[in-house]
Structure 1
Amino acid sequence: QVWDSGGCSHSVDLTALGKHGEVYTEGPFACLAWSHSETRLLYVAEKSRPKRQPPCPWDVPGAAWPAAEDEDEESSMPGATGRGVDRPVPQGKQFVYHEDWGEALSTRSEPVLCILDLEGLSLSVLEGVPEHLSPGQALWSPDDHGVVFVGWWHKPFRLGLNACSNRRSEIFHLDLASGCCELLSAENGSACSPRLSPDGQRLLYLEGVVGGPHRQCLRLRMLTWQTRQTVTVLDVVQEPTEAFAGLYAEVLPPRCWAADSRRAVLGTPQRSRTDLLLVDTEAATITNLTAGSPEGCWELLTLQWDLLVATCSAPHRPPSLVVAVLPPAGQELPLDWVPVEDTPTVPGVAWKSLTVQPPCSGQGLTVQDTQAFEALLLSPSDGTPPHPLVVCPHGGPHAVFDARWRPSMAALCRLGFAVLLVNYRGSLGFGQASISSLLSRVGEQDVADTQLAVEQALHREPLDPHRLALLAGSHGAFIALHLLTREPERYQACALRNPVSNLPALLGTSDIPDWRYTSLGLPYSFERVPCAEAVATMLLRSPIAQAAQVQTPVLLCVGARDRRVSPMQALELYRVLRARGVPARLLWYPEGGHALAGVETEADVFKNCAHWLLQHL
């Protein structure tokens, strides 16, 4: 629907027009962009594909479905081609396999760029996008004569795209008149999130490296539209400084440019915070607009006419909506944020950031071996210490626990638990060198860092060393399982979500098989097939190989539709634990994916995890 000051001006059932399949409303491909004339809408949808037809209801030899009536007359707009998506599949092709883009993108296979012309009352699917590309994140060129889009390579086959900024993708310009497709970004890169300046002269975008860690420190690049010259505004940061720790956001805000078409605002993890940074694209300077604020997580919703609209939160405070006017260049600080919808802090929850320092003694140590990392400690502000401690290493592994509002963690504090969120070396926000340091050390460095964070927290804070539990998911659960095998009597309870337990078993079941090699420092290529040496290395790093050491009661929460970590990982672990008499319980969510998202699922997971911890601590 399109609305204006007079009400609803247009209402169009896009899928019913038959030009394409489902419209992409979320995810890495999705977009919805007005032309500058505000007469056309640009969006992404699934390519039209004939549907399988059920068997003929007439049990008579030679019977067939009656011929479909001409549906062109039923189309609500000129230019439609009828219900093309309902064409029957030719015989012999009903069961041809169609790849998709993996976890959380199982309905995304072949995206196409579409234009809805409200003035001409027509819908068109754009041609000219190379066949080896899946297009998305499109916007109009400055003159409305073309579109700019991100094209992801899907040859020779698709690897999982969700939470993976290391896939080959480049930015293109498609001329609508000639159909010519022009490459704008560098070849063999991982570019995304193009944002055009208000004056139409500059195109800002993110760029990373193909392969390697799935999340990484990115470059901020800028292209001058007229000359097609590209410069690096912000480069990859190997070692963080007080002023800037690097750029780790997967996308730029949809509207990030200031009115002067020179400055831009974006949010990114900076150690265990997420801050808003003002970038001067000409001077290549950075101003942290939120450093030192009591809120640990800031997110920019939009920037229009130099009015900033953002949310801010902290571990003890749900998100608040705030606004501020961006001052002229050079006068940005201090920025006066005005609350629009202020949210009070939650009573009974306190938090702090802990710096964890690895030991500096030993031979052959590198800078990364002694680099400090951080952990966030949430604890009950009321009640009598020492408090039982729930230890949470994050998944990823290249992710981060920033100091944002997490309802489940605050609820655990209200139940009397302290919670330790560990950002081990390899987390985002601490420089690219820290991310790279984890490669080939998965199952070793991350596990040791988590245990070191626990020991230092127990030494500094009023916590009960005899009441410890683990709560984690995915790679965090992988770390937790390693801790259970190495210190069988240290932890009294463990609750895991979609755990990684058997690395070689994921080679043929995960949407990101490349990570199984990269994480252990092994080379990966699309042509690679498993060999005995690689499989043996993976098995040695797998918790399942040492599962006989586990004594701690384990709760497993499993999404049956998880494409990233096969649910068979948890089922195999469950059987091993039960066979050895270890208390174990498995919850199976038939519609759950890797994130176990959804109100009903999330509520049930939390309720069962909290009960498990209360029962065993």
Structure 2
Amino acid sequence: MAERRMLLRLRSGTEELASEVWDEHGLRKCLNLTALNKHGRVYDDAHFSCLSWSRCENKLLYIAEKKNESPNTSSGNVKDRSVYQEDWGEALSHRSVPVLCCVDLRSGCLSVPSGVPADVSPGQAVWSLDGESIFFVGWYHEPFRLGLKFCTNRRSALLRIDLEGNCERLSEENVSVLSPRLSPDGSALVFLQGKVFGPHAQCLKLQMLDLKSKSISTLIDVVHRAQDGGDTGGFSGVYESLPSSCWSEDSQRVVFSSAHKNWKDIFVVDRRTRSVSCVSNAQRVFGSWRLLTVHRDLMVVCCSSPNTPPTLRVGLLPPSGQNVSWKTLQSPLSTFDFSWTVMDVRPSPEEDNAKYTSLDFGAILVKPSSFTTKLPLVVFIHGGPHSQFPAEWNITTAGLVQLGLAVLMVNYRGSTGFGQDSILSLIGQIGQQDVQDVQRAVQCALQSDTSLDPERMAVCGGSHGGFLSCHLIGQFPDMYRACAVRNPVVNAATLLGTSDIIDWRYSSVGLDFSYEKIPTAEALAAMLERSPITHAPKMRSALLLMLGGRDRRVSPHQGLELYRALKSRGRTVRLLWFPEDGHSLSRVDSQTDCFVNTVLWLQEHL
């Protein structure tokens, strides 16, 4: 049967949702899903959503919000509209009760399979090979929900349900699960597994479920220290979701992309030997390789570098041990006259972590290739804190460099891509180890590159990057002239009761979390001690604050707290308020406004 393509859309000006089935001859069928009245809004996020064809292409699987039942006034059982209904936090405020939805394209029938446990929210569903059962991830939402976006440490399970409503758990208890992917021959299913609580992003295991024996084995274990060289190209573990299609055609290998130190590469693991190899270009023509999909051994990847916008490339997965012949499908519109350098940085002996010794970290310095005077330096710090700046195209960095600034992107200890030990080393050390690392990277850059002007430096970042930026201008008040931050963590103690990830507020200062935890004076004191608000009296840099009014992760009142502390001391501070935006300030108008105002702020104060 010819492959089809399905499109789900909201018709302009209505709430009608339609599914369209296309093949090579054009539109074959259109179903009005709203008229079937089985569910609410269809999910399109990266956490729950899926769009999975059965192998026979007669059934389609997706995730939607459970139907909102109307009040039943005739029976007297009236639903109270004012009862609080939990959701899944930042950027998922419309995700409360997801349900599995199955469309039979032959009959036009839409069903919501029963049997999903009442204490889980289903998502990331895929069909079995025979189309008689469904594999999915279930996130446990009792006793209450914690924010899910950017968090791979939420208790969840790999589940299977048949069309009769019989459901079974396939993964072990008390773990985090994501990205189930069925092999083309239907013999095995791989998925990622992590620990619950602790760091909200982590190095993950790649697990394989043998569907005949129902046994689970580990294809790739947690990597504690980043590796250098060899056939793996320096493998450092798995840190991100698997693409929807990641298997080789013979069902023997799994392809994925993952961070390695300051880079991102594409790796292959063989299910028979458990060996991992790197298939990215070894010449480092590009700093970042991201796998989009694999179709009949054809790998489609997105490549970029700090001076080269994303380009589309393809390559056939070769036999083990052979190189890939990569072909460029879509060259970038242009490359930019930037130079970029990857820096390996090691803490000084007094800054070494006693529990996790001899860890290094990194940074990426991007600057104009030609200049006539010394360059102002902008220190750019990523949030998370467990995320990464790979050597890839970054529109903010590119814009600043194009305007004549040098940009240093720092991957302090705790960043992904450096092994699980690096991630764990930051627990209980925020506001100290990460601040020292950024400052160490800045000093290394100034020592190694005399084109940088130490008298004209600024710092910027968002979320935890904003937290570190504020720490730097407080702990090193004579070093930075200007600072621009988005939704910064300013006071971890006051943030505790307002954030959708209260578990991280405990873990970040080295305290265990449990759902019934009640704040103690000691815990609040530890959070306050690590917060940049304590350094506010010393801050003299010109500060630009950009806050999202609907931020569920870091309340905008955090930024307001620092704004008032600085205003009362006569400091130079400006606040931009985006009432309709959230933590990432991701709306196009917000991004534009933030960038333009940041550039103007830096030009004025540098």
Q: What TM-score do the two structures reach when normalised by structure 1?
A: 0.92
Q: Answer yes or no: is 1:274 the counterpart of 2:267.
A: no
1:56 corresponds in structure 2 to none
Deviation, structure 1 residue 297? 1.1
1:172 corresponds in structure 2 to 159
- Which consecutive residues of structure 2, in runs of 5 or more, have no partner in the other structure? 1-19
Measured in 2, the distance between the counterparts of 1:616 and 1:52 equals 59
1:533 is paired with a residue of what secondary structure? helix
Query: Does the 8 Å contact 2:236/2:261 carry over to 1?
Result: no
Question: 1:299 is matched with which residue: 284, 287, 290?
Answer: 290
Deviation, structure 1 residue 345? 4.7
| Aligned pairs (5 A) from 1:61-140 | 91=78, 93-140=80-127
Q: Answer yes or no: is 1:343 the counterpart of 2:332.
A: yes
1:278 is paired with a residue of what secondary structure? strand
1:467 corresponds in structure 2 to 456
Query: Does the 8 Å contact 2:54/2:129 carry over to 1?
Result: no
Deviation, structure 1 residue 344? 5.1
Question: 1:569 is matched with which residue: 558, 579, 585?
Answer: 558
Question: 1:38 is matched with which residue: 57, 61, 85?
Answer: 57
Measured in 1, the distance between the counterparts of 2:77 and 2:431 equals 50
2:86 is paired with a residue of what secondary structure? coil
1:237 corresponds in structure 2 to 223
Q: Answer yes or no: is 1:15 the counterpart of 2:6.
A: no
| Aligned pairs (5 A) from 1:293-442 | 293-331=284-322, 333=323, 335-343=324-332, 345-360=334-349, 366=354, 368-442=356-430
Query: Does the 8 Å contact 1:509/1:566 carry over to 2?
Result: yes
Question: 2:255 is matched with which residue: 248, 253, 265?
Answer: 265
Deviation, structure 1 residue 248? 3.4
Measured in 1, the distance between the counterparts of 2:78 and 2:130 equals 46
Q: Answer yes or no: is 1:446 the counterpart of 2:430.
A: no
2:383 is paired with a residue of what secondary structure? coil
Deviation, structure 1 residue 426? 0.5
1:434 is paired with a residue of what secondary structure? helix
2:302 is paired with a residue of what secondary structure? strand
Measured in 2, the distance between the counterparts of 1:253 and 1:543 equals 38
Q: Percent identity between the aligned chains?
A: 48
1:551 corresponds in structure 2 to 540
1:201 corresponds in structure 2 to 187
**Change beyond 3 A, Cα 1:51–1:354:** farther
Deviations 1:351-396 (A, max 9, x none): 110111211368x963734322100000111112421000012110
Given residue 419 of structure 1, which amino acid in structure 2 is its aligned partner? V
**Change beyond 3 A, Cα 1:604–1:487:** same
Q: Answer yes or no: is 1:489 the counterpart of 2:489.
A: no
2:32 is paired with a residue of what secondary structure? coil
Deviation, structure 1 residue 184? 1.1
**Change beyond 3 A, Cα 1:367–1:329:** same
2:219 is paired with a residue of what secondary structure? strand
Measured in 1, the distance between the counterparts of 2:467 and 2:145 equals 25
Query: Does the 8 Å contact 1:498/1:558 carry over to 2?
Result: yes
1:38 is paired with a residue of what secondary structure? coil
Query: Does the 8 Å contact 1:307/1:326 carry over to 2?
Result: yes
Measured in 2, the distance between the counterparts of 1:608 and 1:398 equals 27
Deviation, structure 1 residue 49? 1.1
Deviation, structure 1 residue 480? 1.0
Q: Answer yes or no: is 1:586 the counterpart of 2:575.
A: yes
Query: Does the 8 Å contact 1:100/1:108 carry over to 2?
Result: yes
Measured in 1, the distance between the counterparts of 2:238 and 2:303 equals 18
2:349 is paired with a residue of what secondary structure? coil
Q: What TM-score do the two structures reach when normalised by structure 2?
A: 0.93
Query: Does the 8 Å contact 1:194/1:206 carry over to 2?
Result: yes
1:11 is paired with a residue of what secondary structure? strand
Given residue 227 of structure 2, which amino acid in structure 1 is its aligned partner? T
1:156 corresponds in structure 2 to 143
Given residue 153 of structure 2, which amino acid in structure 1 is its aligned partner? N
Question: 2:43 is matched with which residue: 7, 12, 24?
Answer: 24
Query: Does the 8 Å contact 1:239/1:245 carry over to 2?
Result: no
Q: Considering only aligned residues, what root-mean-square deviation do their CA atoms show, in Å?
A: 1.8
1:600 is paired with a residue of what secondary structure? helix
Deviation, structure 1 residue 292? 3.9
Deviations 1:279-310 (A, max 9, x none): 11110011111144221111111111111111
Measured in 2, the distance between the counterparts of 1:430 and 1:424 equals 10
Given residue 225 of structure 2, which amino acid in structure 1 is its aligned partner? E
Query: Does the 8 Å contact 1:216/1:428 carry over to 2?
Result: yes
1:436 is paired with a residue of what secondary structure? helix
Q: How many residues align?
A: 581
Deviations 1:301-329 (A, max 9, x none): 11111111111001100000111112223
Deviation, structure 1 residue 348? 2.6
2:443 corresponds in structure 1 to 455
Larger Rg: 1
Q: Answer yes or no: is 1:218 the counterpart of 2:218.
A: no
Query: Does the 8 Å contact 2:267/2:278 carry over to 1?
Result: yes
Question: Which stretch of the first structure deviates more once superposed, 122-131 or 242-251?
Answer: 242-251
Deviations 1:115-146 (A, max 9, x none): 01111220001100000000000011121111
**Change beyond 3 A, Cα 1:357–1:478:** same
Deviation, structure 1 residue 52? 8.5
Given residue 212 of structure 2, which amino acid in structure 1 is its aligned partner? Q
Given residue 382 of structure 2, which amino acid in structure 1 is its aligned partner? H
Query: Does the 8 Å contact 2:152/2:194 carry over to 1?
Result: yes
Given residue 67 of structure 2, which amino acid in structure 1 is its aligned partner? S
Query: Does the 8 Å contact 1:20/1:45 carry over to 2?
Result: yes
- Which consecutive residues of structure 1, in runs of 5 or more, have no partner in the other structure? 54-63, 68-87
Given residue 357 of structure 1, which amino acid in structure 2 is its aligned partner? R
Q: Answer yes or no: is 1:47 the counterpart of 2:66.
A: yes
Deviation, structure 1 residue 518? 0.3
Q: Answer yes or no: is 1:601 the counterpart of 2:579.
A: no
Measured in 2, the distance between the counterparts of 1:93 and 1:489 equals 58
**Change beyond 3 A, Cα 1:51–1:391:** farther
